[in-house]
Amino acid sequence: MFAGMGSVMELAGLDYLELLSEVSSAVNSSLDADTALRRLARILVPRLADWCAVDLVEGESLRRVSVASAGAHALPAGSRSAQAAPLGLTGAQAASIGLTGAVGALPLEMEELLLRTLRTSSALLVSAATANAPAGAGPGDDRRRLHRLLAADSAIVAPLRVRGNALGALTLVRIHPEAPLTAEHLPLVEELAHRAALAVDNTRLYGLQHEMASRLQHSLLPRLPDVSPLSLAAGYLPARESSQVGGDWYDAFRLSDGTPALVIGDVAGHDITAATQMSEVRNMLRALAFDGREAPARVVSRLDRALGGLGESFLTTMVLARVEGPPTGPWRLRWTNAGHPAPLLVTSDGGTQFLEAGRGHLLGFDATLPRKDAVEELPPGSTLVFYTDGLIERRKEPLDRGMTRLRRKMGGLSGADPQAICDELLAAGDTAGEDDIAVLAVRLPDMTENFPELA
């Protein structure tokens, strides 16, 4: 990996091994390619260059992701800020660098040099010596033109390539002739470009995995049933970070006698496995609960034993509840809580109460431990809010603060419809996007007469 870098290690007294280590840490510490490449440019300027630019291939265009310059050095002539610019390539040219299809005209001043760099597997040095090559000398023409555009003494353009595909280019420029970039710098710059390319490739692969997991999770979330005269809405917000697609879910269905059953849960983990395990738990719970003859605590205990007996035991939190009562009321909530954040009851006048009763241990911890039910009378016009921990938890913040924030938020939303409540809560949830969030809101009628039958 470091072949040919022996002499460059001694240049200008700079510790190049330390530089490579710092670059690796910077570009691999973010799951966003643009952020990683901006960090790269800030490290390389001024330690290795007076000016740095990183361009990425996006479809049939080049986008300038990052530009950094040292001190008062102006950007080189013809440089562009971050924007998409089409590459005017023929089909053969596009294919030669891993692109497909022909595209429009070339507006970038350095198009020939960038194209040459993207097509090859090695860095290209532009210096005063190469710029003074005789006219018509092939590559020397491109170098002479770039040298004139940059008004600089030397530059190196290195391709970002992974598995034979051109992802972009790294350009480094030195302004002063007393400390030019030379052929001895080429192995180092190629290694820097290689590490940047691997980071970009990893972020894109991670993004694809995140998208697949998110689509899977959305496809597994249920279509909400009609539970008239109750009003019902739900929402789900995936984490922004690719590694944080998780097992949060909500569910609502009618039991065999027409009683609405409500579920909110969270399977431990933040990956595709957690999403698939969530589906297993949800479907098994539906089957066990459907006949409605057993109270929620008994149903969840049976679910816990079944998962363990089938070798599918994994840590899961959950609230299973049912809204009991005739179509015209009064109504009551019967529920059990398996280690999950307490549901919130909001009255029509804005009063709030966390339903802390009925607490028990997580699923997957010890299926032999008993569970208990709790019952709460539900006033007409009240709202029940079920949610996962991503709504109230924030890094370096006490949990009580998140719960207080939720109570205050819901106190001002007591008159809103359930869908508006879900939308507001998701928008005001985990601002850092570190965890996914599921929300389920249920509104009871504000009058107790003239309601249609539930069944």
**Matching residue, tokens 């691997």:** 198
Same domain (yes/no): 201, 228: no
Tell me the helices (H) and strands (E) count for the chain, helix number first.
11, 17
Helix (H, G, I), strand (E, B) or coil at 416: coil
In whole angstroms, give the CA distance from residue 406 to residue 398. Answer: 13
Same domain (yes/no): 355, 250: yes
Q: Please report, as a single letter, which amino acid is at residue 351.
A: G
Q: Does the residue 416 lie in any domain?
A: yes
Mean predicted lDDT score pLDDT of the chain: 80
Same domain (yes/no): 170, 81: yes
Q: Does the residue 140 lie in any domain?
A: yes
**Who wins on pLDDT, 227 or 76?**
227
In whole angstroms, give the CA distance from residue 261 to residue 322. Answer: 4
Domain of 61, CATH number, reads 3.30.450.40
| Burial status of residue 310 (CB atoms within 10 A of its CB: 0-12, 13-18, 19 or more) | exposed
Same domain (yes/no): 408, 265: yes
CA distances from 192 to 9, 172, 197, 395, 440 (A): 14, 11, 9, 33, 48
Same domain (yes/no): 137, 12: yes
Domain that holds residue 372: 221-443
Q: Evaluate if residue 276 carries a pLDDT over 70.
A: yes
**Matching residue, tokens 């939190």:** 317
User: Averaged over 84-98, what is the pLDDT?
Assistant: 43
Confirm if 351 and 384 have CB atoms less than 8 A apart: no
Q: Does the residue 75 lie in any domain?
A: yes
Residue 134 region, left (φ>0) first, then alpha (ψ -120 to 50), else beta? Answer: beta
Residues in the chain: 455
- Asked which of 93-102, 208-217, 329-338, 416-425 is least confident by mean pLDDT, the reply is 93-102
Same domain (yes/no): 289, 173: no
User: Averaged over 111-132, what is the pLDDT?
Assistant: 72
Q: Which residues have a Cβ under 8 Å from the Cβ of 28 and sit 6 or more positions away?
A: 36, 199, 202
Same domain (yes/no): 75, 183: yes
Which secondary-structure segment (H or E) carries 115? helix 111-119
In whole angstroms, give the CA distance from residue 438 to residue 224. Answer: 14
Same domain (yes/no): 196, 330: no
pLDDT one-digit tens code per residue, 375-386: 999 999 999 999
Residue 453 DSSP label? P
Confidence band of 268 (pLDDT split at 50, 70, 90) = confident
Confidence band of 100 (pLDDT split at 50, 70, 90) = very low
Q: Evaluate if residue 125 carries a pLDDT over 50.
A: yes
Q: What is the pTM of this model?
A: 0.62
**Number of compact structural domains in the chain:** 2
What's the distance, Cα to Cα, between the start and end of the chain in Å?
71
Same domain (yes/no): 163, 266: no
Q: Could you count the other beta carbons within 10 Å of the beta carbon of residue 432? A: 12
Same domain (yes/no): 142, 15: yes
Q: Evaluate if residue 92 carries a pLDDT over 50.
A: no
Confidence band of 279 (pLDDT split at 50, 70, 90) = confident
Confidence band of 397 (pLDDT split at 50, 70, 90) = confident
